[in-house]
Protein backbone atom coordinates (compact mmCIF):
# COMPACT_ATOMS: atom_id res chain seq x y z
CA UNK A 1 0.00 0.00 0.00
CA UNK A 2 1.33 3.45 -0.95
CA UNK A 3 2.14 5.93 1.83
CA UNK A 4 -0.65 8.30 0.84
CA UNK A 5 -3.14 5.45 0.84
CA UNK A 6 -2.10 4.58 4.40
CA UNK A 7 -2.58 8.20 5.53
CA UNK A 8 -5.93 8.41 3.78
CA UNK A 9 -7.06 5.19 5.42
CA UNK A 10 -5.96 6.50 8.80
CA UNK A 11 -7.87 9.74 8.60
CA UNK A 12 -11.00 8.21 7.06
CA UNK A 13 -11.01 5.62 9.82
CA UNK A 14 -10.39 8.24 12.50
CA UNK A 15 -13.17 10.44 11.15
CA UNK A 16 -15.60 7.52 11.07
CA UNK A 17 -14.84 6.57 14.68
CA UNK A 18 -15.08 10.17 15.93
CA UNK A 19 -18.40 10.58 14.10
CA UNK A 20 -19.86 8.03 16.51
CA UNK A 21 -19.04 10.34 19.42
CA UNK A 22 -16.06 8.28 20.52
CA UNK A 23 -13.31 10.22 22.39
CA UNK A 24 -10.36 10.83 20.13
CA UNK A 25 -7.86 9.01 22.38
CA UNK A 26 -10.03 5.85 22.28
CA UNK A 27 -10.58 6.24 18.53
CA UNK A 28 -6.85 6.47 17.98
CA UNK A 29 -6.29 3.38 20.12
CA UNK A 30 -8.74 1.28 18.13
CA UNK A 31 -7.36 2.56 14.83
CA UNK A 32 -3.77 1.84 15.87
CA UNK A 33 -4.61 -1.75 16.84
CA UNK A 34 -6.44 -2.41 13.56
CA UNK A 35 -3.71 -0.92 11.36
CA UNK A 36 -0.91 -2.66 13.22
CA UNK A 37 -2.63 -6.01 13.00
CA UNK A 38 -3.65 -5.86 9.35
CA UNK A 39 -0.91 -3.72 7.77
CA UNK A 40 2.20 -4.29 9.85
CA UNK A 41 2.50 -7.77 11.27
CA UNK A 42 -0.36 -9.27 13.22
CA UNK A 43 -0.01 -10.12 16.90
CA UNK A 44 3.78 -9.68 16.89
CA UNK A 45 3.44 -6.07 15.80
CA UNK A 46 0.89 -5.40 18.52
CA UNK A 47 3.21 -6.82 21.18
CA UNK A 48 6.18 -4.77 19.95
CA UNK A 49 4.23 -1.51 19.85
CA UNK A 50 2.66 -2.20 23.24
CA UNK A 51 6.15 -2.50 24.74
CA UNK A 52 7.38 0.66 23.00
CA UNK A 53 4.26 2.60 24.07
CA UNK A 54 4.78 1.55 27.67
CA UNK A 55 8.42 2.55 27.40
CA UNK A 56 7.43 6.00 26.15
CA UNK A 57 5.79 6.88 29.49
CA UNK A 58 7.75 4.67 31.90
CA UNK A 59 10.52 7.23 32.16
CA UNK A 60 11.87 9.39 34.96
CA UNK A 61 11.21 12.56 32.97
CA UNK A 62 7.46 12.01 32.90
CA UNK A 63 7.10 12.03 36.66
CA UNK A 64 7.43 15.80 36.30
CA UNK A 65 3.95 15.97 34.79
CA UNK A 66 1.84 14.97 37.84
CA UNK A 67 4.07 17.05 40.13
CA UNK A 68 3.60 20.23 38.09
CA UNK A 69 -0.14 19.58 37.88
CA UNK A 70 -0.32 18.94 41.63
CA UNK A 71 1.53 22.20 42.32
CA UNK A 72 -1.05 24.18 40.36
CA UNK A 73 -4.03 22.29 41.79
CA UNK A 74 -2.98 23.03 45.38
CA UNK A 75 -2.43 26.73 44.68
CA UNK A 76 -5.82 27.10 42.97
CA UNK A 77 -7.94 24.98 45.34
CA UNK A 78 -6.38 26.51 48.46
CA UNK A 79 -7.44 30.00 47.37
CA UNK A 80 -3.87 31.34 47.21
CA UNK A 81 -4.58 32.46 43.64
CA UNK A 82 -7.50 34.65 44.77
CA UNK A 83 -5.36 36.23 47.46
CA UNK A 84 -2.72 37.05 44.86
CA UNK A 85 -5.29 38.70 42.55
CA UNK A 86 -6.38 41.03 45.35
CA UNK A 87 -2.78 41.83 46.22
CA UNK A 88 -1.77 42.57 42.61
CA UNK A 89 -4.75 44.92 42.27
CA UNK A 90 -3.34 47.15 45.03
CA UNK A 91 -0.37 48.02 42.81
CA UNK A 92 -2.23 49.05 39.64
CA UNK A 93 -3.87 52.30 40.74
CA UNK A 94 -6.15 54.07 38.20
CA UNK A 95 -4.37 53.02 35.01
CA UNK A 96 -6.46 52.63 31.80
CA UNK A 97 -8.20 49.25 31.62
CA UNK A 98 -7.14 48.51 35.19
CA UNK A 99 -9.18 45.34 35.69
CA UNK A 100 -8.28 43.95 32.26
CA UNK A 101 -4.60 44.66 32.95
CA UNK A 102 -5.04 42.91 36.28
CA UNK A 103 -6.31 39.89 34.33
CA UNK A 104 -3.15 39.87 32.18
CA UNK A 105 -0.79 40.16 35.16
CA UNK A 106 -2.68 37.60 37.21
CA UNK A 107 -3.01 35.23 34.23
CA UNK A 108 0.75 35.42 33.69
CA UNK A 109 1.42 34.75 37.36
CA UNK A 110 -1.05 31.87 37.57
CA UNK A 111 0.33 30.41 34.36
CA UNK A 112 3.53 29.86 36.29
CA UNK A 113 1.66 28.12 39.09
CA UNK A 114 -1.12 26.21 37.38
CA UNK A 115 -1.25 23.20 35.12
CA UNK A 116 -4.66 23.98 33.66
CA UNK A 117 -5.61 26.92 31.44
CA UNK A 118 -9.29 26.22 32.00
CA UNK A 119 -8.82 26.38 35.78
CA UNK A 120 -6.97 29.68 35.41
CA UNK A 121 -9.67 31.09 33.12
CA UNK A 122 -12.39 30.00 35.56
CA UNK A 123 -10.57 31.62 38.50
CA UNK A 124 -10.00 34.90 36.67
CA UNK A 125 -13.56 34.97 35.34
CA UNK A 126 -15.13 34.24 38.72
CA UNK A 127 -13.17 36.98 40.47
CA UNK A 128 -12.96 39.71 37.81
CA UNK A 129 -16.11 39.54 35.65
CA UNK A 130 -18.42 40.75 38.48
CA UNK A 131 -15.99 43.62 39.18
CA UNK A 132 -15.82 44.53 35.47
CA UNK A 133 -19.61 44.54 35.21
CA UNK A 134 -19.95 46.68 38.33
CA UNK A 135 -17.61 49.32 36.89
CA UNK A 136 -19.19 49.46 33.42
CA UNK A 137 -16.60 47.57 31.37
CA UNK A 138 -17.53 46.56 27.83
CA UNK A 139 -18.80 42.97 27.84
CA UNK A 140 -16.73 41.93 24.84
CA UNK A 141 -13.50 43.37 26.24
CA UNK A 142 -14.10 41.72 29.61
CA UNK A 143 -14.75 38.17 28.46
CA UNK A 144 -12.33 38.24 25.50
CA UNK A 145 -9.49 39.47 27.68
CA UNK A 146 -10.05 36.96 30.48
CA UNK A 147 -10.42 33.99 28.13
CA UNK A 148 -7.08 34.91 26.56
CA UNK A 149 -5.41 35.49 29.93
CA UNK A 150 -6.48 32.00 30.99
CA UNK A 151 -4.89 30.56 27.86
CA UNK A 152 -1.53 32.11 28.82
CA UNK A 153 -1.14 29.06 31.06
CA UNK A 154 -0.20 27.03 27.95
CA UNK A 155 2.96 29.09 27.39
CA UNK A 156 4.04 30.27 30.83
CA UNK A 157 6.09 27.44 32.40
CA UNK A 158 5.64 25.06 34.03
CA UNK A 159 3.02 24.15 31.43
CA UNK A 160 1.42 20.71 31.45
CA UNK A 161 0.75 20.97 27.70
CA UNK A 162 4.44 21.76 27.09
CA UNK A 163 5.38 18.57 28.97
CA UNK A 164 2.83 16.54 27.00
CA UNK A 165 3.97 17.97 23.67
CA UNK A 166 7.59 17.25 24.57
CA UNK A 167 6.63 13.70 25.47
CA UNK A 168 4.76 13.04 22.24
CA UNK A 169 7.55 14.58 20.13
CA UNK A 170 10.28 12.95 22.27
CA UNK A 171 11.95 16.25 23.06
CA UNK A 172 13.62 17.41 26.26
CA UNK A 173 10.98 18.43 28.79
CA UNK A 174 13.40 20.95 30.31
CA UNK A 175 14.09 22.55 26.92
CA UNK A 176 10.35 22.81 26.24
CA UNK A 177 9.63 24.49 29.57
CA UNK A 178 12.53 26.94 29.43
CA UNK A 179 12.02 27.63 25.72
CA UNK A 180 8.43 28.77 26.24
CA UNK A 181 9.38 31.55 28.71
CA UNK A 182 10.08 34.33 26.21
CA UNK A 183 7.12 33.51 23.90
CA UNK A 184 4.83 33.51 26.94
CA UNK A 185 6.15 36.86 28.17
CA UNK A 186 5.96 38.24 24.62
CA UNK A 187 2.26 37.39 24.38
CA UNK A 188 1.59 38.81 27.85
CA UNK A 189 3.40 42.02 26.88
CA UNK A 190 1.39 42.36 23.66
CA UNK A 191 -1.86 41.88 25.59
CA UNK A 192 -0.81 44.43 28.22
CA UNK A 193 0.11 47.02 25.60
CA UNK A 194 -3.04 46.47 23.53
CA UNK A 195 -5.34 46.89 26.53
CA UNK A 196 -3.64 50.06 27.79
CA UNK A 197 -3.61 51.69 24.33
CA UNK A 198 -7.19 50.62 23.53
CA UNK A 199 -8.58 51.85 26.84
CA UNK A 200 -6.65 55.11 26.53
CA UNK A 201 -8.09 55.77 23.05
CA UNK A 202 -11.57 54.46 23.90
CA UNK A 203 -12.09 55.08 27.64
CA UNK A 204 -15.79 54.19 27.42
CA UNK A 205 -14.78 50.51 27.03
CA UNK A 206 -13.23 50.51 30.50
CA UNK A 207 -14.34 53.57 32.47
CA UNK A 208 -11.80 54.86 34.95
CA UNK A 209 -13.21 54.65 38.46
CA UNK A 210 -12.11 55.72 41.89
CA UNK A 211 -10.16 52.98 43.56
CA UNK A 212 -9.29 52.61 47.19
CA UNK A 213 -6.07 54.43 47.88
CA UNK A 214 -3.41 52.26 49.41
CA UNK A 215 -0.37 53.52 51.24
CA UNK A 216 3.04 52.20 50.32
CA UNK A 217 2.98 50.34 53.60
CA UNK A 218 -0.24 48.57 52.64
CA UNK A 219 1.12 47.75 49.18
CA UNK A 220 4.31 46.35 50.62
CA UNK A 221 2.28 44.35 53.16
CA UNK A 222 0.27 42.82 50.27
CA UNK A 223 3.47 41.27 48.93
CA UNK A 224 3.04 38.55 51.55
CA UNK A 225 0.41 37.10 49.18
CA UNK A 226 2.58 37.49 46.06
CA UNK A 227 6.21 37.10 47.06
CA UNK A 228 6.07 33.48 48.32
CA UNK A 229 4.40 32.34 45.07
CA UNK A 230 6.96 34.29 43.05
CA UNK A 231 9.85 32.74 45.00
CA UNK A 232 8.37 29.26 44.47
CA UNK A 233 8.04 29.79 40.71
CA UNK A 234 11.55 31.25 40.37
CA UNK A 235 12.95 28.40 42.47
CA UNK A 236 11.37 25.78 40.20
CA UNK A 237 12.46 27.42 36.95
CA UNK A 238 15.81 28.59 38.31
CA UNK A 239 16.91 25.15 39.46
CA UNK A 240 16.09 23.73 36.02
CA UNK A 241 17.84 26.52 34.16
CA UNK A 242 20.94 26.32 36.34
CA UNK A 243 21.14 22.58 35.86
CA UNK A 244 20.88 22.01 39.60
CA UNK A 245 17.68 19.97 39.24
CA UNK A 246 16.04 17.91 36.54
CA UNK A 247 12.47 18.89 35.54
CA UNK A 248 11.21 16.03 37.72
CA UNK A 249 13.16 17.20 40.75
CA UNK A 250 12.12 20.81 40.18
CA UNK A 251 8.48 19.76 39.82
CA UNK A 252 8.65 17.77 43.06
CA UNK A 253 10.16 20.79 44.79
CA UNK A 254 7.31 22.92 43.43
CA UNK A 255 4.61 20.52 44.61
CA UNK A 256 6.16 20.33 48.08
CA UNK A 257 6.46 24.12 48.17
CA UNK A 258 2.79 24.53 47.21
CA UNK A 259 1.72 22.28 50.10
CA UNK A 260 3.94 24.18 52.54
CA UNK A 261 2.60 27.54 51.34
CA UNK A 262 -1.01 26.40 51.67
CA UNK A 263 -0.26 25.11 55.17
CA UNK A 264 1.52 28.35 56.09
CA UNK A 265 -1.57 30.35 55.10
CA UNK A 266 -3.80 27.98 57.07
CA UNK A 267 -5.57 26.79 53.91
CA UNK A 268 -4.36 23.19 53.64
CA UNK A 269 -7.60 21.40 54.49
CA UNK A 270 -8.55 17.80 53.79
CA UNK A 271 -10.95 19.04 51.10
CA UNK A 272 -8.14 20.97 49.37
CA UNK A 273 -5.90 17.89 49.44
CA UNK A 274 -8.72 15.68 48.11
CA UNK A 275 -9.62 18.01 45.22
CA UNK A 276 -5.96 18.58 44.33
CA UNK A 277 -5.15 14.88 44.21
CA UNK A 278 -8.31 14.05 42.24
CA UNK A 279 -7.55 16.73 39.65
CA UNK A 280 -3.95 15.56 39.35
CA UNK A 281 -4.91 11.92 38.82
CA UNK A 282 -7.52 12.74 36.15
CA UNK A 283 -5.29 15.08 34.12
CA UNK A 284 -2.21 12.86 34.43
CA UNK A 285 -4.10 9.72 33.44
CA UNK A 286 -5.53 11.39 30.36
CA UNK A 287 -2.13 12.80 29.38
CA UNK A 288 -0.38 9.43 29.64
CA UNK A 289 -3.14 7.76 27.62
CA UNK A 290 -2.69 10.37 24.92
CA UNK A 291 1.09 9.93 24.86
CA UNK A 292 0.87 6.14 24.53
CA UNK A 293 -1.67 6.51 21.70
CA UNK A 294 0.60 9.01 19.93
CA UNK A 295 3.57 6.66 20.31
CA UNK A 296 1.60 3.81 18.76
CA UNK A 297 0.47 6.12 15.95
CA UNK A 298 4.09 7.08 15.27
CA UNK A 299 5.00 3.39 15.10
CA UNK A 300 2.22 2.77 12.58
CA UNK A 301 3.49 5.65 10.43
CA UNK A 302 7.05 4.35 10.64
CA UNK A 303 6.33 0.66 9.96
CA UNK A 304 3.97 1.32 7.04
CA UNK A 305 6.39 3.77 5.43
CA UNK A 306 3.86 6.61 5.64
CA UNK A 307 6.19 8.87 7.65
CA UNK A 308 9.12 8.38 5.29
CA UNK A 309 6.89 8.80 2.23
CA UNK A 310 5.37 12.03 3.53
CA UNK A 311 8.79 13.43 4.48
CA UNK A 312 10.19 12.62 1.02
CA UNK A 313 7.15 14.20 -0.62
CA UNK A 314 7.35 17.40 1.47
CA UNK A 315 11.10 17.88 0.99
CA UNK A 316 10.75 17.25 -2.75
CA UNK A 317 8.15 19.97 -3.29
CA UNK A 318 9.23 22.85 -5.54
CA UNK A 319 8.43 25.38 -2.83
CA UNK A 320 10.30 26.90 0.07
CA UNK A 321 10.34 24.78 3.24
CA UNK A 322 8.83 27.82 4.92
CA UNK A 323 5.72 27.43 2.78
CA UNK A 324 5.35 23.87 4.05
CA UNK A 325 5.91 25.01 7.64
CA UNK A 326 3.35 27.81 7.36
CA UNK A 327 0.90 25.33 5.85
CA UNK A 328 1.35 23.11 8.91
CA UNK A 329 0.58 26.00 11.22
CA UNK A 330 -2.54 26.85 9.22
CA UNK A 331 -3.71 23.25 9.64
CA UNK A 332 -3.14 23.47 13.41
CA UNK A 333 -4.96 26.81 13.51
CA UNK A 334 -7.99 25.35 11.70
CA UNK A 335 -8.03 22.27 13.94
CA UNK A 336 -7.92 24.57 16.97
CA UNK A 337 -11.29 26.01 15.97
CA UNK A 338 -12.96 22.62 16.45
CA UNK A 339 -11.02 20.25 18.73
CA UNK A 340 -9.11 20.52 22.00
CA UNK A 341 -5.33 20.95 22.32
CA UNK A 342 -4.23 17.44 23.25
CA UNK A 343 -6.19 15.95 20.35
CA UNK A 344 -4.47 18.40 17.99
CA UNK A 345 -1.10 17.19 19.27
CA UNK A 346 -2.16 13.58 18.86
CA UNK A 347 -3.14 14.13 15.22
CA UNK A 348 -0.38 16.45 14.01
CA UNK A 349 2.84 15.81 15.91
CA UNK A 350 3.54 12.24 14.69
CA UNK A 351 3.00 13.45 11.11
CA UNK A 352 4.55 16.94 11.15
CA UNK A 353 7.69 16.45 13.23
CA UNK A 354 9.45 13.90 10.97
CA UNK A 355 8.83 16.27 8.04
CA UNK A 356 10.15 19.29 9.98
CA UNK A 357 13.24 17.33 10.99
CA UNK A 358 13.84 16.24 7.38
CA UNK A 359 13.65 19.89 6.26
CA UNK A 360 16.33 20.88 8.78
CA UNK A 361 14.33 23.12 11.14
CA UNK A 362 15.10 23.21 14.86
CA UNK A 363 12.61 20.88 16.57
CA UNK A 364 12.48 22.80 19.87
CA UNK A 365 11.66 25.99 17.96
CA UNK A 366 8.96 24.26 15.91
CA UNK A 367 7.53 22.68 19.07
CA UNK A 368 7.29 26.10 20.78
CA UNK A 369 5.71 27.62 17.64
CA UNK A 370 3.19 24.77 17.69
CA UNK A 371 2.55 25.41 21.39
CA UNK A 372 1.79 29.08 20.68
CA UNK A 373 -0.65 27.97 17.98
CA UNK A 374 -2.26 25.45 20.31
CA UNK A 375 -2.69 28.19 22.91
CA UNK A 376 -4.49 30.17 20.20
CA UNK A 377 -6.83 27.21 19.66
CA UNK A 378 -8.19 27.62 23.18
CA UNK A 379 -9.78 30.96 22.24
CA UNK A 380 -10.68 30.52 18.56
CA UNK A 381 -14.41 30.36 17.81
CA UNK A 382 -16.57 28.40 17.62
CA UNK A 383 -15.27 25.71 20.01
CA UNK A 384 -12.33 27.18 21.92
CA UNK A 385 -12.47 25.56 25.36
CA UNK A 386 -11.67 28.69 27.37
CA UNK A 387 -14.56 30.49 25.65
CA UNK A 388 -17.01 28.01 27.15
CA UNK A 389 -15.29 28.20 30.55
CA UNK A 390 -15.77 31.97 30.56
CA UNK A 391 -19.39 31.52 29.50
CA UNK A 392 -19.90 29.16 32.42
CA UNK A 393 -18.76 31.74 34.99
CA UNK A 394 -20.42 34.75 33.32
CA UNK A 395 -23.87 36.26 34.08
CA UNK A 396 -26.73 34.96 31.90
CA UNK A 397 -26.94 38.16 29.84
CA UNK A 398 -23.45 37.56 28.39
CA UNK A 399 -24.04 35.45 25.30
CA UNK A 400 -21.65 33.32 23.26
CA UNK A 401 -21.99 36.03 20.59
CA UNK A 402 -20.58 38.58 23.06
CA UNK A 403 -17.69 36.23 23.81
CA UNK A 404 -16.96 35.53 20.13
CA UNK A 405 -17.03 39.27 19.36
CA UNK A 406 -14.86 40.11 22.33
CA UNK A 407 -12.18 37.52 21.69
CA UNK A 408 -11.52 38.34 18.00
CA UNK A 409 -9.02 41.20 18.65
CA UNK A 410 -7.16 38.92 21.04
CA UNK A 411 -7.06 36.18 18.39
CA UNK A 412 -5.31 38.69 16.12
CA UNK A 413 -2.80 39.49 18.88
CA UNK A 414 -2.10 35.79 19.32
CA UNK A 415 -1.49 35.43 15.58
CA UNK A 416 0.96 38.35 15.75
CA UNK A 417 2.80 36.62 18.61
CA UNK A 418 2.87 33.39 16.58
CA UNK A 419 4.36 35.22 13.58
CA UNK A 420 7.02 36.90 15.74
CA UNK A 421 8.16 33.59 17.26
CA UNK A 422 8.29 32.05 13.78
CA UNK A 423 10.36 34.92 12.35
CA UNK A 424 12.70 35.13 15.37
CA UNK A 425 13.59 31.54 16.40
CA UNK A 426 16.03 32.66 19.18
CA UNK A 427 12.98 33.66 21.22
CA UNK A 428 12.40 29.94 21.68
CA UNK A 429 15.90 28.51 21.36
CA UNK A 430 18.25 30.93 23.12
CA UNK A 431 17.45 30.03 26.73
CA UNK A 432 17.49 26.24 26.11
CA UNK A 433 20.87 26.64 24.37
CA UNK A 434 22.32 28.13 27.57
CA UNK A 435 21.41 24.95 29.46
CA UNK A 436 23.66 22.75 27.32
pLDDT in tens, 347-389: 888 889 988 998 889 999 999 999 999 989 889 988 788 888 8
Among residues 168, 407, 386, 187, which one has the least CA distance to residue 288?
168
Closest to 400 (Cα-Cα) out of 413, 390, 410, 415: 390
| Count of other CB atoms within 10 angstroms of residue 190 | 17
Answer with the residue of higher pLDDT: 374 or 230.
374
CA pair distance 410, 152, nearest whole angstrom: 12
- Contact between 166 and 172 (Cβ < 8 Å): yes
CA distances from 35 to 15, 276, 306, 322 (A): 15, 38, 12, 32
pLDDT confidence tier of residue 194, bands split at 50, 70 and 90? very high
- Section 414-434 average pLDDT: 94
What's the confidence (pLDDT) of residue 243?
A: 82
**Per-residue model confidence (pLDDT) at position 372:** 93
186: three-class secondary structure by DSSP? helix
8 A C-beta contact, residue 256 and residue 269: no
Cis peptide before 382 (omega within 30 of 0): yes
Assess whether pLDDT exceeds 60 at residue 115: no
> Across all residues in the chain, what is the average pLDDT?
84
CA torsion 66-266-123-341 (nearest 10°) is 0
d(CA 132, CA 127): 9
Neighbouring residues of 173: CB distance < 8 A, sequence distance ≥ 6: 61, 62, 64, 162, 163, 166, 167, 247
Cα–Cα dist 234/241, whole Å: 10
More reliable by pLDDT, 96 or 291:
96
- CA nearest to 58, candidates 342, 345, 250, 292: 292
**pLDDT grade for 227, boundaries at 50, 70 and 90:** confident
In terms of pLDDT, which residue wins out, 156 or 2?
156
Quick check: 262 and 124 in contact, CB under 8 A?
Answer: no
pLDDT band at 116 (very low <50, low <70, confident <90, very high): low
* Residues 283-311, mean pLDDT to the nearest whole number: 74
Amino acid sequence: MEWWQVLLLMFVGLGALMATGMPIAIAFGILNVALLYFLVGGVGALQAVALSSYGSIATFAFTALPMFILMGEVILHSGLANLAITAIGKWLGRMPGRLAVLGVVAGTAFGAASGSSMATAATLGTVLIPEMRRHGYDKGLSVGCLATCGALDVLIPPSALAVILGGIARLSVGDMLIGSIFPGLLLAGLLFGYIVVLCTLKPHLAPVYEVEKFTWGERLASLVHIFPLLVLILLVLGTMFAGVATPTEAASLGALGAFLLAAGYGRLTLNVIKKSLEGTVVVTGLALLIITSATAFSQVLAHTGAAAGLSKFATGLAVSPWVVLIGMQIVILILGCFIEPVSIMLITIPIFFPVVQAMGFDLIWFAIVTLVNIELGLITPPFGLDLFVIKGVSPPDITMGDIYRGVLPFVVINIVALAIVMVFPPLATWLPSLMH
